[in-house]
Structure 1
Amino acid sequence: MVRIRTMTEDDIDAVAEIRVGGWRTAYAGLVPQGHLDAMDAAEDAARHRRLFRLNGGLQRVNLVAESADGVAGWACYGPCRDADATDGDGELYALYVRPDLIGTGAGRALCTAVTEGAAARGFRRMLLWVLEGNHRARAFYTHAGFVPDGSEQPYEVAGVSVPEVRYAMPLPVT
């Protein structure tokens, strides 16, 4: 059983571990292994702690999925940052689940909470960017109701091009 709740500052270390583990699992073979090996959860936590304090929870919404074993996943969303975005566009900035819990429903629960929360905040459409070669994530988002909208952008990690594609989902008006 997974419970979704608003992230607190006390969750940041667990979220950093999930994010680093998520990168190492999802992007193995897509980005340079040296980059993945060099990722440090403590550094990631320090960066997230600064962002969390600056944001004050006003623009970005951070959610965690919590299981009996603690924090199982994390998602973050808010206004879309794309140049072609409208005022009604939200963006899923990140969604990661502990690698050992992929396929347990934690990601699905987070994605549902994100889309429901975004609709309740008045967003009419949710957008996200995913690495073109990340077939598992692309299948996950397709199953959740997102579809590629034809937009692509270059993305580079440690000098290697890993292009991204954008997915979109209309949200119900609440």
Structure 2
Amino acid sequence: MLIRLARDDDMEDFVRIYGRAYEGLEEYAYTTRKEIKSYFRWLRKRDSEGMFVAVDDSTEEVVGFVACDTNWYSSFEEKEVGEIHELFVEPEWRGKGVGKALLEKGIEYARLKGRDLTELWVGEKNYKAREFYEKMGFKAAGSWGHWIRMVKRI
């Protein structure tokens, strides 16, 4: 597996995989192609150097994305942090280390940009993601609506 910077031409893969990754979790997701495309453009605009894709090196198929925003100001921390806005993996690629590699790449990027904390928000009923983030060293740090805030010192 190869991890590389996301490009504008990754939008269609983003839309396809995002939709599949959020099946059953639609209450936490954008649900129309237009919204998902707009979200992709927003993520790229926020911090284009912090958005990465995982690619199967044998087929060159894109299998996952992470978007880390080092321009994000956390009102909870009162400073800029490495905000993980998004992390998702093609469902048949889950459990193969793709999410871990992507998350580690996002965290590494935040560290290189001088951030000492990463934060993210995860749906309260997205139990698999919450368990994954806990295994990766994130701790719950409050909630808002149906979202759980998680943080990790880096």
Q: TM-score, normalised by structure 2?
A: 0.85
Which residue of structure 2 lines up, in the alignment, with residue 13 of structure 1? 12
Which residue of structure 2 lines up, in the alignment, with residue 131 of structure 1? 123
Indicate which of 60, 63, 73 corresponds to 2:52. Answer: 63
Indicate which of 60, 75, 82 corresponds to 1:83. Answer: 75
Contact 1:75 1:110 in 2 (8 A): yes
Return the structure number with greater relative CO, CA threshold 8 A, min gap 6.
1
Residues 16-35 of structure 1 mapped to structure 2, 5 A cutoff? 16-25=15-24, 27=25, 31=27
Gaps of at least 5 residues in structure 2 are none
Which residue of structure 1 lines up, in the alignment, with residue 148 of structure 2? 165
Contact 2:119 2:152 in 1 (8 A): yes
Alpha-carbon distance in 2 for matches of 1:45, 1:88? 26
Which residue of structure 2 lines up, in the alignment, with residue 110 of structure 1? 102
Contact 1:13 1:45 in 2 (8 A): no
Alpha-carbon distance in 2 for matches of 1:56, 1:167? 20
Contact 1:80 1:127 in 2 (8 A): no
Q: 1:127 to 1:50 in 2, by over 3 A?
A: closer
Q: 1:45 to 1:65 in 2, by over 3 A?
A: same
Deviations 1:9-57 (A, max 9, x none): 11111011111111115x16xx39xx88xx34x4245314643675572
Which residue of structure 2 lines up, in the alignment, with residue 160 of structure 1? none
Calculate the aligned-residue CA RMSD, in Å: 2.4
Contact 1:74 1:110 in 2 (8 A): yes
Alpha-carbon distance in 1 for matches of 2:12, 2:80? 32
Percent identity over paired residues: 24
Contact 1:88 1:124 in 2 (8 A): no
- Stretches of 4+ moved more than 4 A in 1? 52-56
Aligned residues: 151
Alpha-carbon distance in 1 for matches of 2:137, 2:100? 11
Alpha-carbon distance in 1 for matches of 2:140, 2:91? 25
Structure with the greater alpha carbon radius of gyration: 1
Contact 1:152 1:164 in 2 (8 A): yes
Amino acid at match of 1:119: R
Amino acid at match of 2:106: V
Q: 1:124 to 1:101 in 2, by over 3 A?
A: same
